[in-house]
Structure 1
Amino acid sequence: MMLTVAAVASLPPLPSYWACTTSESLALPFCNTALSIDQRVDDLVGRLTLAEKVAMIGPNGTLGNECADHTTGVPRLGVPQWMWLTETNTAVNSACFKPGVCATTFPGPMNMGASFNRTSWRAKGGVLGSEMRAFHNMNWQRNIGDQQHASLIAPTGFGPNINIARDPRFGRSSELPGEDEREDPLLSGTYAAEMVSGMQEKDAQGHPKMLAYLKHFTAYSVETNRGHDSYNISLHDLHETYLAQYELAFLSSGASGAMCSYNAVNGVPSCANDYVLNTLLKGKWQRDAIITTDCGAVSNLRGPPVNAPSPEHAAAWALNNGTDIEMGSDLFPNHLMSAVQKGLTTEAAITAAVRRTQRQLFTLGRFDPPTSRHTTINSTEHRQVQYEAALQGLVLLKNDAKMLPLRAGSRIAVVGPQGSAKQGLVSDYYGDEICWTDDKCHGTDCFDCIVSIAEAVSAQNVGGRTTTAKGVDVDSADTSGINLALKLAAEAEVVVLALGIDKSIEHEGIDRVDTSLPGLQESFALQVLALGKPTVLVLTNGGALAIDVLVSRAEPAPYAIVEAFNPNQIGAAALGETLFGGANRWGKLPVTMYEHAFISKKEMTDFDMSSGVGRTYRYYTGMPLYPFGFGLSYTQFHLTCQASAARRYGTPAGAANYSYACNVTNQGSISGDEVLMLYHSVGDAIRAQLDHPAPRRALIDFQRLSVVPGARASHQFELSEKDLMIVNANGEKVLYPGEHHLVFARGAAGVNDDDATFIVQA
């Protein structure tokens, strides 16, 4: 049965911040639904004074949290204030409505990326869009401290965050879906396109459930000195790695806009970058896109690298170069009018920004009679989408002697600091509240509803005995708990060793300096493994961990390794079911797991993707612990692919169309999921003539398939010549004539012996 708020005494008469509700405003043309949206927008904007326009594109701190960006309304026209920022990366950031009715919190984005499942990504977006609109209909609020009474949710959501997972040390890695971006960014770009499409689904009246804005545009992957940092990035790397995922998301899903990032590219801050914001995004991808700053980014312009000489200069630079709305600082509302008077910007530029912002709110239905008033939060259907996503985002890295699945009725010890952790399992931007606040906990400190790994294992180990002790902390020198944990492990038949990092180690504002397990975790793990017990190592983390000494072990006992990323609310339950064989829905690594030495070979501030040892699977020349796309299963699959003859079709360019039929056979006795990945690389002759880097290989398509024992599942890959293009030194996509290689693989290329390789001529 669906959990909705239909049982409350009454629904508020209007959604929060609704306009065109007074008799005076209803008599005005902008409230006339018989007119076109552009006519209505023109009428509204034409009635505004310059002061009113300026107040609509910057925060008013007297209305609420400045980073949440409460912009001033126009009471004389019946237009209320608006709160722009509600985070929607993993859940709709909100206070719980009542027990059992909190926003649906999905597994961390790395888990989502690991599924390589377009359907799951779109379904997640659909859930977030529905719940965002429901909270808006209910006049419900975010939970952001003392200001929460004023922070009623409006359906303008910020997320997904699709910055590249360029370096595992990045403090915000837990917010990202993976590392694959290129001229056809088939992981992060497709993830965003599907998720945004679900978020912005339209109702019967043609109104999107919400407006979705991408984060953080662009080349943002360092926390140290953020807001005043600048990185040298070639046009090749900029277009191949740092822009491509955004281009795909805007062109494929019609994302409503983006939040510009704190950093600068080649000395030009992202929130005042005419080339990125105006020439590319608004000029080529989405003309009506809204650009909001990250919190305080306009005030940051007063400092390095540009050192704006006055607040007026900073505000004008941001506005003139593509920013529409300021968040977190008040230079727009306090200094844009004087910037106009000083000739630094124009009223026309302000009007254009206001028109873009208000036009989007008209498409949202804010100025129409309210129609869709659903109140569905955390329904049975939403929880099913959440749980399915959790099952598909786990990655099996090792399974010696088929140690997994585990047998119920066993003596199992769950040890390690992440075994009993709850808050420690969450990713950044998990939401304002996951669990209902009661007498036992308060607000954002309430995590009791999260399923721990130990609880999940105990629930599955029916008829057995499950004990737990953390042994060591995530990051401390405290040895007082080690003896008890080792005792429990020695008494057990099987050990589940839960290690990893939490938000004390990686989070917004701080990067990791080391990728190894912090504190005493590694030495404790070696003590546990020395017991010679069958052991399952479960890793929970955002950024990848360097577990070099734990990948192999000399002891003969069976050993398995599972990457669980950030399970968040329900992921541990999915892990428990999977460990005991109730599900075989494993995903694939969305990142490269580098060896520990990587951090000494590549400076974190080096944004060049191909220099030195390179970065990501596309350019890395070293030997990773586990490559991008790697992942095992409880069953055995076999891949075969067959090429159809290249054929021409009637496009103006006459581009060739290549077709490949691939079959995956389940040769084992367990149903399971497999992910097919298609990689492209140019031949040696082409590579020899290039004056720019070319990826060693790059993902250009993928497909997740479910196959029952003894059966075969098929997928047809259809390619055109654009799939063979690579980015040149000028940032342009080019098809080089000559030999191109296509590799079809079950995940990582070069790992299984059934990869199918084809050579095509362009």
Structure 2
Amino acid sequence: MFFLPAISVCGDGVYKKSGKGFRDLNKNGKLDPYENPAESMEVRLQDLLRQMTLEEKVGQLAHTLGWNYYEKDERGQVRLTDLFRSDLKNRHIGCFWATLRADPWTRKTLKTGLSPEEAAEMTNLMQRYAQDSTRLGIPLFLAEECPHGHMAIGTTVFPTAIGRASTWNPELEKRAAGIVALEARLQGGHIGYGPVLDVARELRWSRVEEGYGEDPFLSGSMGSAYVRGLQGEDVGSGENVIATLKHFTAYGVPEGGHNAGMAHVGVRELLTELSYPFEMAVKAGALSLMTAYNEVDGIPCTANPFLTNQLLRGQWGFSGFVVSDLYSIDGLVSQRVAANREEAGMLALRSGVDSDLGGNCFAAGLVKACREGRLAEADIDRAACRVLRLKFEMGLFDNPYVEVKKAGKQIGTPEHREVAREVARQSVVLLKNENKLLPLSKEVKRVAIVGPNADNVYNQLGDYTAPQAPGSVITVFEGIRQKLPGAEIRYVKGCAVRDTLNTSIEEACEVAKNSDVVVVVLGGSSARDFETDFLETGAAITNARRVSDMESGEGFDRTGLSLMGKQLELLKALYATGKPIVLVMIQGRPLELNWAAEHILAILTAWYPGSEGGRAIADVLFGDYNPAGRLPLSYPRHVGQLPVYYNHKSAGRQDYVEGTAAPLYPFGYGLSYTTFAYDGVKMRVEGDSVRVSVDVRNSGDRVGDEVVQLYLRDEQASVVTPFMQLKAFRRVSLAAGESRTVEFVLTREHLKILDLSLNWVVEPGFFTVLIGSSSSDIRLTTRFRIN
């Protein structure tokens, strides 16, 4: 139940426009140009800006914390808070962040948070208040977290990005993003924070799970698809949201693996590799971008005019708005480049940041600085125009409301969950399958399921996940139970992810001895709980007073990559029973598998597979789906190898005293239940492009997908280039015995390098094309020359 002011509501829950036609938002008795949809957007924008006070313009630049703007009592009654009314009246706030977010940090639970219908009602109520109770009636922007689903109650939860990258399927990524956008927009959201495009080469870093792995091209390809899915053909469709790229830039290579640590990178690496996914996504049409917490070469990313003004806008042609990460403008004070929040706000604004997430620095201090002549009002106008233009593009001035009943019917649907299941299936990477242990027979009579991640709902979902209703998440145990209704399925946890005191290893071994096969589900966890402590930015804090499962997710950086707690001890004890073992890893980063790779017959990783992950994993284990996921990063043998990415800039890496420098499993690697043969590579140069084709045949006995990967090597250049670099890929499905010709087109974009003068050029010379099934499984090579 809601406390609502006296407003008109249609029978279907759609708020009406008052009077005939469109509203007189500023209530001056006439329809001003900015209120008139018949006028051009630029006319409307400039008319609105002309009427706005300095305080109102600054208010449009602050993104405040939206979950503080409503409250829900024990009877389920929901109301706007006094803080909401105060911020609109006194600060003229125009953008809210994470209004519908629910998690331990916000203290919004299934009981105190909002269902999809309640959320739609609440955001409509907020928009009505903004129209009726503010001077100009400017609609609100609501930004929501959308990394692997809209982070709100009742929505569809997809695999985290590192899992979706393992699909190597941009079209499927676009489809998933379209669902995420729809579920956010139907509840009143307008901006979706995602995709995360941080190239992750420091695997101790807590946020590896949020991005697409170690490769710039794969990250940019998947991220561009996510952008196209979120924004659609028309961001004002009523079913799409603005994509916000995160985190610009070099955030995924922090010193020591520390979240937000400084990045030791040169200009060339910054431009050609770490920023390249952002360039691809900007050219795919992204309308928003978020700065990173870290600094590069002594300059904070939130106050770096080269990155934001010259590179992003000047060279890439970005036309959207830039938002800071939460309190990262405040952070300019702790980074000692600004004396106070007022100075920090001016520094960020001049550097090209348009919106302050947190809202402390784009506030009264900017107004004061402008009135005193220390800041040009043109700087404020420029940023306000970038934000307001997108409000017009989304059609919010003409209709800021959503249909409540649609939110109840079209969010978290079985159809959406089926797409999540398909994404999870395609994300599974089969790492080992000795003696063809997999797929398991459905005739098996007794199955033991063991491990901390076998039947733990939240350990399957990753960070940035809302509370889940009972039964909404299918665990591995439940997925196998549904797959084998006639079998004896017994589950024993065995141990926790981190806790070393409470174990049931002996019981697990007894159950294993009385089974035909043992499925062991180990790994990590990004599951926050309501006892977790948090920084002001929302990052979790390790707590010596208690042991949760959480060892990944924002703020949980590692010194090593070993399995924590008693997990390896549990696995060794189960191995000693002599029963066949299948190891399933559910994790946010690659965890050490050296012992398992030597002793366990079958291993797969599902990363964090989402709400349908249990069904997807069962589909793979029992042969209803042939795995074809490929690793989006190199899987190290030891933390001492880091960084261990494939596209290094030397022809070879010297081995260590203790062992090889090669990863345990290379970038692009993944097994199948069938085999594939490559033949007939052909190539022709056509002006500025090169066409390369290869014949791929399913040489096995069952249908399966192959991920055909094309790498390029520049044989001689004016600067050092990668030994090999992914430039194209294609996931193709082939029936047993079926062949297909796969063609790639390489353009100047694929061949260019950043020369000695930091100019993008295509230099003449020879290029080697390497085509195969992974970065270390090259089946065919050829070369061509550019004159």
Pair in the same fold by TM > 0.5: yes
Q: Provide closer, same or farther for how the CA distance between residues 479 and 130 of structure 1 changes in structure 2, counting only shifts above 3 A.
A: closer
CA contact (8 A) 2:201 2:643 kept: no
Q: Determine the structure 2 residue equivalent to 1:381.
A: 415
Matched residue of 1:85: which SS?
A: strand
* Aligned-partner residue type, residue 357 of structure 2: M
CA contact (8 A) 2:448 2:512 kept: yes
Are 1:401 and 2:403 counterparts?
no
* Aligned-partner residue type, residue 352 of structure 1: R
Aligned residues: 685
Q: Determine the structure 2 residue equivalent to 1:145.
A: none
Q: Provide closer, same or farther for how the CA distance between residues 680 and 561 of structure 1 changes in structure 2, counting only shifts above 3 A.
A: same
CA contact (8 A) 2:159 2:424 kept: yes
Matched residue of 1:169: which SS?
A: coil
Q: Determine the structure 2 residue equivalent to 1:231.
A: 263
Q: Determine the structure 2 residue equivalent to 1:139.
A: none
Q: Provide closer, same or farther for how the CA distance between residues 489 and 733 of structure 1 changes in structure 2, counting only shifts above 3 A.
A: farther
| Equivalent of 2:160 in 80, 89, 108 | 108
Q: Determine the structure 2 residue equivalent to 1:639.
A: 678
Between 83-92 and 576-585, report the one with greater CA deviation.
83-92
Q: Provide closer, same or farther for how the CA distance between residues 358 and 201 of structure 1 changes in structure 2, counting only shifts above 3 A.
A: same
**Alpha-carbon distance in structure 2 between the residues aligned to 1:676 and 1:227:** 34
**Alpha-carbon distance in structure 2 between the residues aligned to 1:349 and 1:368:** 27
Q: Determine the structure 2 residue equivalent to 1:758.
A: 782
Q: Determine the structure 1 residue equivalent to 2:618.
A: 576
* Aligned-partner residue type, residue 458 of structure 1: R
Q: Determine the structure 2 residue equivalent to 1:275.
A: 306
| Equivalent of 2:608 in 566, 578, 581 | 566
Are 1:94 and 2:152 counterparts?
yes
Q: Provide closer, same or farther for how the CA distance between residues 377 and 744 of structure 1 changes in structure 2, counting only shifts above 3 A.
A: same
| Equivalent of 2:201 in 166, 174, 180 | 166
Task: Give the share of equivalent positions with the same residue, in percent.
Answer: 29
Between 625-634 and 236-245, report the one with greater CA deviation.
236-245
Cα displacement string for residues 418-469 of structure 1 (whole angstroms, at most 9, x for unaligned residues): 1121111111123x34x33xxxxxxxxxx64211111112222243211111
| Equivalent of 1:215 in 242, 246, 249 | 246
Alignment of 1:178-577 (within 5 A): 178-181=213-216, 185=217, 187-202=218-233, 209-221=240-252, 222=254, 229-251=261-283, 253-304=284-335, 306-369=336-399, 373=403, 375=407, 376-410=410-444, 411-430=446-465, 432-433=466-467, 435-436=468-469, 448-478=471-501, 480-503=503-526, 504-553=550-599, 559-577=601-619
Cα displacement string for residues 383-406 of structure 1 (whole angstroms, at most 9, x for unaligned residues): 232221111000001101110000
Matched residue of 1:302: which SS?
A: helix
CA contact (8 A) 1:742 1:757 kept: yes
**Alpha-carbon distance in structure 1 between the residues aligned to 2:198 and 2:441:** 40
**Alpha-carbon distance in structure 2 between the residues aligned to 1:397 and 1:9:** 55
**Alpha-carbon distance in structure 2 between the residues aligned to 1:227 and 1:531:** 41
**Alpha-carbon distance in structure 2 between the residues aligned to 1:497 and 1:561:** 10
* Aligned-partner residue type, residue 279 of structure 1: Q
**Alpha-carbon distance in structure 2 between the residues aligned to 1:603 and 1:757:** 27
Deviation at 1:621, TM superposition (A): 9.0
Alignment of 1:45-194 (within 5 A): 45-59=49-63, 62-63=83-84, 68=98, 75-80=133-138, 82-95=140-153, 102-136=154-188, 154-181=189-216, 185=217, 187-194=218-225
Q: Provide closer, same or farther for how the CA distance between residues 309 and 204 of structure 1 changes in structure 2, counting only shifts above 3 A.
A: closer
Deviation at 1:345, TM superposition (A): 2.0
Between 736-745 and 71-80, report the one with greater CA deviation.
71-80
**Alpha-carbon distance in structure 2 between the residues aligned to 1:158 and 1:312:** 26
Q: Provide closer, same or farther for how the CA distance between residues 702 and 403 of structure 1 changes in structure 2, counting only shifts above 3 A.
A: same
Deviation at 1:168, TM superposition (A): 1.3
Cα displacement string for residues 100-145 of structure 1 (whole angstroms, at most 9, x for unaligned residues): xx21111111111011112101101211222222112xxxxxxxxx
Cα displacement string for residues 633-681 of structure 1 (whole angstroms, at most 9, x for unaligned residues): 0111112242143223xxxxxx2x2212222211222111111010011
**Alpha-carbon distance in structure 2 between the residues aligned to 1:372 and 1:476:** 46
* Aligned-partner residue type, residue 126 of structure 1: G
Between 727-736 and 638-647, report the one with greater CA deviation.
727-736
CA contact (8 A) 1:642 1:662 kept: yes
* Aligned-partner residue type, residue 566 of structure 1: Y
CA contact (8 A) 1:68 1:327 kept: no
CA contact (8 A) 2:448 2:489 kept: yes
Deviation at 1:523, TM superposition (A): 2.0
Unaligned runs of 5+ in 2: 1-9, 66-82, 88-94, 100-125, 527-549
Cα displacement string for residues 221-272 of structure 1 (whole angstroms, at most 9, x for unaligned residues): 3498979743332111101222100000001x21011111111111111111
Q: Determine the structure 2 residue equivalent to 1:4.
A: none
CA contact (8 A) 1:728 1:734 kept: yes
**Alpha-carbon distance in structure 2 between the residues aligned to 1:508 and 1:529:** 34
CA contact (8 A) 1:602 1:613 kept: no
Cα displacement string for residues 139-159 of structure 1 (whole angstroms, at most 9, x for unaligned residues): xxxxxxxxxxxxxxx311111
Q: Provide closer, same or farther for how the CA distance between residues 212 and 621 of structure 1 changes in structure 2, counting only shifts above 3 A.
A: farther
Q: Determine the structure 1 residue equivalent to 2:118.
A: none
Q: Provide closer, same or farther for how the CA distance between residues 229 and 329 of structure 1 changes in structure 2, counting only shifts above 3 A.
A: farther
CA contact (8 A) 1:175 1:429 kept: no
* Aligned-partner residue type, residue 167 of structure 2: S
* Aligned-partner residue type, residue 777 of structure 2: V
**Alpha-carbon distance in structure 1 between the residues aligned to 2:42 and 2:225:** 28
Q: Determine the structure 2 residue equivalent to 1:665.
A: 697
CA contact (8 A) 2:258 2:557 kept: no
Cα displacement string for residues 45-72 of structure 1 (whole angstroms, at most 9, x for unaligned residues): 1100111111111145732897648999
Q: Determine the structure 1 residue equivalent to 2:44.
A: 40
Question: Which TM-score applies when normalising by structure 2?
Answer: 0.82
**Alpha-carbon distance in structure 2 between the residues aligned to 1:589 and 1:28:** 56
Q: Provide closer, same or farther for how the CA distance between residues 760 and 19 of structure 1 changes in structure 2, counting only shifts above 3 A.
A: farther
**Alpha-carbon distance in structure 2 between the residues aligned to 1:336 and 1:736:** 48
Deviation at 1:379, TM superposition (A): 2.9
Deviation at 1:83, TM superposition (A): 4.5
Deviation at 1:9, TM superposition (A): 6.5
Q: Provide closer, same or farther for how the CA distance between residues 545 and 733 of structure 1 changes in structure 2, counting only shifts above 3 A.
A: farther
Question: Which TM-score applies when normalising by structure 1?
Answer: 0.84
CA contact (8 A) 1:207 1:363 kept: no
CA contact (8 A) 1:159 1:215 kept: yes
Between 467-476 and 340-349, report the one with greater CA deviation.
340-349
Between 115-124 and 214-223, report the one with greater CA deviation.
214-223
Deviation at 1:24, TM superposition (A): 2.9
Q: Determine the structure 2 residue equivalent to 1:444.
A: none
CA contact (8 A) 2:161 2:210 kept: yes
Q: Provide closer, same or farther for how the CA distance between residues 635 and 602 of structure 1 changes in structure 2, counting only shifts above 3 A.
A: closer
Q: Provide closer, same or farther for how the CA distance between residues 277 and 613 of structure 1 changes in structure 2, counting only shifts above 3 A.
A: farther
**Alpha-carbon distance in structure 2 between the residues aligned to 1:214 and 1:125:** 13
| Structure having greater relative contact order (Cα 8 Å, sep ≥ 6) | 1
CA contact (8 A) 1:254 1:286 kept: no
What do you get for the CA RMSD once the two structures are aligned? 3.0
Cα displacement string for residues 30-56 of structure 1 (whole angstroms, at most 9, x for unaligned residues): 121111111111111110011111111
| Equivalent of 1:706 in 730, 733, 736 | 733
Q: Provide closer, same or farther for how the CA distance between residues 611 and 312 of structure 1 changes in structure 2, counting only shifts above 3 A.
A: farther
Unaligned runs of 5+ in 1: 1-7, 96-101, 137-153, 437-446, 649-654
